Each structure stands twice: as structure tokens, then as C-alpha cells.
């Protein structure tokens, strides 16, 4: 694991799945883990990041811990963490595979995790070990329903799964 200390952080936000004027904050072309990580398939690789409803709950970002290129990750097993001023988020591998690249731009511009979480705010690029694991991930619609269900179970209060 490597620890990356982030520069200027981002401000905190509320967990939601709708942006301004009802825009969807969970792009339909991506797949999602129940823990809030997203997966984008591109040129035979999987790019992994944190969905906006989860990343904006962290507050100003302080530190990120990610696996190194060449390391193997296993689906549903912890692969790193992100520490923010408001909360701490463990990162779980949405798929098994080999780390090909980490996104160093996020280290220099941590605001990308909020401003462009599904584009330049990706964290890891991996070679997928088992493509059948893709079938275990959620669609954007299913992820939105999961977030709403958790929100309802907590009495309609903000979602604080990873607050300590």
C-alpha cells in the first residue's frame, strides 16, 4: 500500500443521488459496488473510483491509501482508504484484478473526487481477473435504490455509514 497525502481538499456535501435540476449523480453507463465504488470498462481495463454520493460525505480530503501498481486486489476485500475531515472511507475492491495504474492527478487535485468523480477523478486502473464478477455489481438504478433504502432505514437522516 502507498499513502498519498492530498493537497488542497474539497468541501463537504450531503449524500444524495440527484444533482442540480434533477441531474443523475450515478451515471447509467457505470457499475457500482454496494460499498460505493464505481467501475468503468474501457479498452479491456476497469477504472475504479468513488461515486459522488459517497465521496462528498468525506469533507475536505486529507489522505488516501491505495495499492501499488503490480499488486493484486480481490473483490470485496479492503484495498485502501480515504480520510476526510468529516469521515473515513475504507475502499473495497469491486472486482478482482491486477493494479495497472493509480491516478496521480487525484493526489495533486483531490477536488476531482467531487468535481469530476466519474472522469478525471478515477483512482485505479486494473486488469480484470474474473469478468464474471461484473455480474455481481449494481446498475445505477439499483445503486440509487440501495442508497434510498439505507436513508429510509436510518429515519431519513444523512447517510453516515463510514462516519466514526
Domain annotation covers residue 63: yes
Domain annotation covers residue 125: yes
Q: Structural domain of residue 94, as residue ranges? A: 2-15+33-132
Domain annotation covers residue 66: yes
Domain annotation covers residue 73: yes
Q: What domain count does the chain have?
A: 1
Domain annotation covers residue 141: no
pTM of the model: 0.81
Domain annotation covers residue 54: yes
CATH number of the domain to which 63 belongs = 2.40.50.100
Domain annotation covers residue 142: no
Q: Please write down the HEC assignment for all residues of the chain.
A: CEEEECCCCCCCCCCCCECHHHCECCCCCCEECCCCEEEEEECCEEEEEECHHHHHHHCCEEEEEECCCCCEECCCCEEEEEEECCCEEEEECCCCEEEEEECHHHHHCCCHHHHCCCCCCCCEEEEECCHHHHHHCECHHHHHHHHHHHHHHCCCCCCCCCCC
Q: Specify the range with the lowest mean pLDDT, choosing from 47-56, 124-133, 150-159.
A: 150-159
What are the pLDDT digits (tens) for 1-35?
Answer: 544 444 444 333 334 444 443 345 899 999 999 99
Domain annotation covers residue 160: no
What are the pLDDT digits (tens) for 41-82?
Answer: 999 999 999 998 888 888 888 888 999 999 999 999 999 999
Amino acid at each position: 500500500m502507498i499513502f498519498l497525502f492530498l493537497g488542497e481538499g474539497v468541501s463537504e456535501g450531503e449524500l444524495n443521488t440527484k444533482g442540480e435540476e434533477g441531474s443523475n449523480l450515478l451515471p447509467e453507463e457505470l457499475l457500482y459496488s454496494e460499498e460505493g465504488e464505481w467501475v468503468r470498462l474501457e479498452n479491456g481495463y476497469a477504472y475504479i473510483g468513488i461515486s459522488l454520493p459517497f465521496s462528498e460525505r468525506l469533507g475536505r480530503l486529507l489522505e488516501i491509501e491505495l495499492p501499488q501498481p503490480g499488486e493484486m486486489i480481490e473483490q470485496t476485500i479492503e484495498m485502501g482508504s480515504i480520510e476526510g475531515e468529516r469521515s473515513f472511507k475504507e475502499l473495497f475492491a469491486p472486482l478482482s484484478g491486477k493494479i495497472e495504474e493509480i491516478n496521480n492527478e487525484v493526489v495533486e487535485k483531490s477536488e476531482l473526487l467531487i468535481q469530476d468523480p466519474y472522469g478525471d477523478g478515477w483512482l485505479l486502473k486494473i486488469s480484470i481477473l474474473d469478468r464474471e464478477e461484473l455480474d455481481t455489481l449494481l446498475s445505477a438504478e439499483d445503486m440509487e435504490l440501495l442508497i434510498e433504502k439505507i436513508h429510509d432505514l436510518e429515519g431519513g437522516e444523512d447517510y453516515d455509514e463510514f462516519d466514526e
